[in-house]
């Protein structure tokens, strides 16, 4: 494929989301005119051929002042690591004219983005996502954050990158489970845009994503974010599958299920809850679950975990005082549409929890 560029817009800010080969060179081009460039990544990604290519391209650009390795995954998303990163930037002579390049999965792009949002009250950053999840979700939309012991992403900022450079070549080294997990989010977009579902299900089953589908998912996120940059309304659609999904993630101690796996269960939950509320027919539920199952993602969780997840969604930060607000599909024509801010009665939720906890899948 050749690279495709989508223009992302958030308020007055515009930035390209480039999907396709050649991201290392595109990153190097962004380095031009900067006094310093800091590459923020993690050891695992920097060891991959793609990681080496990005580092080499930036080195060739001539102003790479720092390669900073964060601890892997969520361990790199802490305030302590933010402080360590900021000190390293200062020691490397970074200024407000410097560029931070975040190379890695969503954990790295979240942490590097928040570093850029706060270092000297804000410097530019570019996101170079290397997981499927980060390409279609985390790196797009300008949300950056770190965790605190009580809650994930509790401290963060909206700080859009100057560019997102998603190169499918980087996915070659991604562990199979991480790739599947990314398909959890891809299926979320397909559930939001049912016309994508057939193709997404086929590719999820095959375990390989096309440039066209990657672009379609990235575009779906870009368009929603453009219409609602601060998550006051429509952007809530992107939380489809996440209300119960977050509960599942928490009930599994954030280790038993990856984010995408939990979202997959959450999607099944949302579709089943919608059916129970009379919003959707059984065929739509079956179609969705078939896609999730085909992707090798869970459609059920053990009963005790399903119940624990229900209790834990209540601590979701998207909860409003009036109770949980759901993102749920509603039958329309041959497919469905998705609404946000839907309420659901306790009985319907309880019954759906029992269904989702109906097996150990």
Ligand X SMILES: NC(=O)c1ccc[n+]([C@@H]2O[C@H](COP(=O)([O-])OP(=O)(O)OC[C@H]3O[C@@H](n4cnc5c(N)ncnc54)[C@H](O)[C@@H]3O)[C@@H](O)[C@H]2O)c1
Q: Which residues are known catalytic residues?
A: 121, 143, 185, 221, 231, 235, 239, 242, 246, 259
- 74 near 254, Cβ under 8 Å? yes
Q: Count of CB atoms within 10 A of residue 325's CB?
A: 18
- 37 near 98, Cβ under 8 Å? yes
> Can residue 45 be called a binding residue for ligand X (CB under 6 A)?
yes
**Minimum Å distance from CB 83 to ligand X?**
19
Q: Using CB under 6 A, pick the residue from 17, 28, 31, 133 that binds ligand X.
A: 133
> Can residue 72 be called a binding residue for ligand X (CB under 6 A)?
yes
How many helices and strands (H and E) does the chain possess? Answer: 14, 11
**Minimum Å distance from CB 138 to ligand X?**
3
- Select from 80-88, 135-143, 261-269, 301-309 the region that touches ligand X (CB under 6 A): 135-143
- Which SS3 state, helix, strand or coil, does residue 316 take? coil
**Minimum Å distance from CB 145 to ligand X?**
6
Q: Using CB under 6 A, pick the residue from 173, 211, 290, 339 that binds ligand X.
A: 173
Cβ-in-10-Å burial (0-12, 13-18, 19+) of 49 comes to exposed
> Can residue 71 be called a binding residue for ligand X (CB under 6 A)?
no
**Minimum Å distance from CB 295 to ligand X?**
15
> Can residue 42 be called a binding residue for ligand X (CB under 6 A)?
yes
The tokens 């200024």 sit on which residue?
A: 95
**Minimum Å distance from CB 96 to ligand X?**
23
Strand ranges (E), the chain: 4-10, 13-19, 37-42, 64-70, 99-104, 124-129, 143-148, 151-158, 163-166, 326-332, 335-342
129 vs 357, beta carbon nearer ligand X: 129
- 139 near 106, Cβ under 8 Å? yes
Q: Using CB under 6 A, pick the residue from 40, 134, 197, 265 that binds ligand X.
A: 134
Task: Give, as ranges, the residues between 87 and 126 that touch ligand X (CB under 6 A).
Answer: 104-108, 110
**Of residues 317, 322, 310, 319, the one with CA closest to residue 352:** 310
Strand ranges (E), 11-139: 13-19, 37-42, 64-70, 99-104, 124-129
Interacting residues with ligand X (CB under 6 A): 42, 44-45, 48, 72-74, 77, 104-108, 110, 130-131, 133-134, 137-138, 141, 143, 152-153, 170, 173-174, 178, 181, 259
């Amino acid at each position: 494929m050749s690279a495709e560029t989508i223009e992302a817009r958030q308020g007055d800010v515009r930035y390209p989301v480039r999907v396709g080969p050649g991201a290392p060179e595109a990153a190097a081009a962004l380095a031009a005119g900067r006094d310093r460039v800091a590459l923020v990544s993690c050891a695992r990604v920097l060891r991959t051929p793609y990681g080496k290519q990005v580092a080499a391209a930036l080195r060739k650009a001539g102003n790479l002042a720092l390669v900073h390795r964060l601890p892997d995954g969520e361990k790199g998303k802490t305030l302590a690591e933010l402080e360590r990163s900021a000190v390293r930037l200062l020691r490397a002579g970074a200024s407000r004219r410097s560029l931070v390049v975040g190379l890695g999965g969503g954990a790295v792009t979240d942490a590097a983005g928040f570093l850029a949002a706060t270092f000297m009250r804000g410097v530019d950053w570019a996101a170079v996502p290397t997981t499927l999840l980060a390409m279609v979700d985390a790196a797009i939309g300008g949300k950056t954050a770190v965790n605190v012991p009580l809650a994930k992403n509790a401290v963060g900022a909206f700080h859009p990158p100057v560019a997102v450079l998603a190169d499918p070549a980087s996915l070659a080294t991604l562990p199979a489970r991480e790739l599947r997990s990314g398909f959890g989010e891809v299926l979320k977009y397909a559930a939001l845009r049912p016309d994508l579902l057939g193709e997404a299900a086929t590719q999820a089953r095959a375990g390989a994503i096309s440039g066209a589908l990657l672009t379609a998912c990235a575009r779906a996120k870009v368009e929603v974010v453009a219409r609602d940059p601060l998550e006051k309304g429509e952007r809530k659609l992107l939380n489809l599958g996440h209300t119960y999904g977050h509960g599942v993630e928490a009930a599994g101690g954030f280790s038993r299920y990856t984010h995408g796996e939990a979202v997959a269960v959450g999607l099944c939950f949302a579709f089943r809850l919608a059916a129970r509320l009379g919003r959707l027919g059984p065929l739509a539920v079956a179609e969705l679950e078939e896609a999730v199952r085909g992707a090798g993602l869970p459609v059920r969780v053990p009963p005790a975990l399903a119940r624990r997840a229900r209790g834990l969604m209540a601590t979701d930060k998207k909860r409003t005082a009036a109770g949980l607000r759901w993102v749920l599909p509603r039958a329309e024509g041959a497919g469905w549409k998705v609404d946000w801010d839907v309420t659901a009665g306790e009985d319907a939720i309880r019954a759906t929890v029992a269904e989702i906890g109906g097996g150990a899948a």
